[in-house]
Amino acid sequence: MEEQNFSLTPRNPLTELSELRFEIEPVEDEFDLKCRLKFGTMHYEYREREYIVGVSKAHLRLVLEGCETTFADVFGEQALAEISVDDSVQIQSALKGNVALNANTVTGASGEVDIGIGGSVVRTKNAKTQQKLLPVVAGPNDTWKIAPKTIFNKPEKFVEGSAIPSVRLCTIRRKQGGNRMSVLGEVHVSRSSIKVAANDGNRMGKSLSEWQNKNALVGLLLKKAIQREARSGGKSNSANAVCISRCEVVEK
């Protein structure tokens, strides 16, 4: 098979918060899309106070042209939880006694049988589930949700580190009749997912002013990201969500 050539164009409007990179590796008649997605925090000074800014969750989505994903497993694929049910029956008797054998009883080797008077039948069911909480979960239509969990199933305050550590994200194949393949990846965060914390804590009872500063700071960051993305030729973003990383791989 003739080796394919691809050009890579990464664009990260807020370079401190995230980095997205792709690499396409031919495997017979298909292609493995390898991905590296990292998150970090940034320090920002506003009104003489220093803040730490990060994201608590994000979404990665792919836009494919001239190609499509295959049925091969993808990174972060999450199966629905299986439920195991144990069904048992317990017979409870109010009174028991040894009686003589008669036509309506069944005996054991001793010739005697336990008969319950005023007894009841209790059915019990015990159910349990087992499920792994993945930090990256694959969704429908070539999307992935990034939201690391703690042992108590609560999201971490900031997403930090490698969410996708330079591994195969999915497998793609050329569409029938397609001439050139193009893979565009975008990492989106909502306004509510941008978290801000004062670097030196909340001192001198400034909770109200700090909250106002955080809200203003998030607005500035969103505006900055939108402006940078517009200058780099990206798509427009709304005031409540923004693309913090983009990467495009195009076949030459």
pLDDT of residue 165: 95
Query: CB burial class (10 A; 0-12, 13-18, 19+) of residue 126?
Result: exposed
Q: Which residue ranges in the chain fall short of pLDDT 70? A: 1-4, 89-121, 125, 127, 130-131, 152-156, 200-212, 222-240
Q: Domain segments of the chain: what residues?
A: 6-78+133-251, 82-128
Angstrom distance (rounded) from CA 126 to CA 176: 51
Phi and psi of 7, rounded to 5°?
-105, 140
Q: What is the amino acid identity at position 62? A: L
Q: Which pTM was predicted?
A: 0.73
Owner of token pair 């990174």: 75
pLDDT tens digits, one per residue of 124-171: 767 677 667 789 999 999 999 999 877 766 666 789 999 999 999 999
Angle CA 127–128–134, to nearest 5: 150
Asked whether 221 and 16 are in contact (CB, 8 A), the reply is no
CB proximity list for 57: less than 8 A, separation 6 or greater: 145, 146, 147, 155, 159, 189, 193
CB proximity list for 162: less than 8 A, separation 6 or greater: 36, 37, 38
Owner of token pair 């920002």: 44
pLDDT tens digits, one per residue of 64-85: 999 999 999 999 998 887 777 7
Using DSSP, state whether 29 is helix, strand or coil.
coil
Q: What is the amino acid identity at position 72? A: A
> Which tokens belong to 223?
């505006």
Angstrom distance (rounded) from CA 31 to CA 151: 36
pLDDT of residue 12: 78
pLDDT of residue 58: 95
pLDDT of residue 167: 97
